[in-house]
Amino acid sequence: MNRIQTMKEKGRQWLKSIKNCEVVVVDWPYTSTQPPHVVGFALAGRSYMISCVPNFSVWESNRSLLLTKKEFRLGGERFLLTPPGLLGINEIPLEWGLLELKGKNIRVARAAPVMLKTREFVSNENLYLLSVLRNYVKQLEMDPDIFRNQKKKNGKEKDKE
């Protein structure tokens, strides 16, 4: 697993365990531009987005996207996940929190403000969830036993360990 994949997996785990997200989606290609890395949905309409920034050159090339692209307007709380010390708290947009990954642990360097859920915001999240659901329905139509097969596959992998 490379650095960015590790960051995405740690972000997914953090959303599930710390933010109690029932649904967490990693790298869903919602639009033609770069997708949000990790998006989580919890009960009571709470939602979170984590964009992974493994190094400063990635930050430099993506900084303007975070502020201008509609697809980055997901998540009632939005976070950048970086290695420790990569970005200072004053370098990130006010609408974003900062998470730092050190080893196996994520530290909240700056909490994310809770965004106001405007009509456009809710519409973006609904479209995102609809695209995820549409894909799962297509997978089921093509292979009705896909989830049963996945459970069998996961069971076999555990037996090999």
Query: Rounded distance, CA 134 to CA 107, Å?
Result: 34
Rounded to two decimals, the pTM is: 0.79
Q: What is the pLDDT of residues 109-134, one digit of tens each?
A: 999 999 877 787 787 788 878 888 88
Q: Would you give the end-to-end CA distance of the chain in angstroms? A: 18
Q: What is the pLDDT of residues 27-55, one digit of tens each?
A: 876 555 556 689 999 988 899 999 999 99
Q: What is the pLDDT of residues 57-83, one digit of tens each?
A: 888 887 777 766 655 567 889 999 999
Give residue limits of the domains in the chain: 3-116
Query: Rounded distance, CA 38 to CA 21, Å?
Result: 11
Coil/strand/helix, residue 88: coil
Nearest to 108 by CA among 30, 44, 28, 50: 50
The answer to whether 41 and 22 have CB atoms below 8 angstroms apart is yes
Chain centroid to CA 40 = 6
Query: Rounded distance, CA 161 to CA 13, Å?
Result: 21
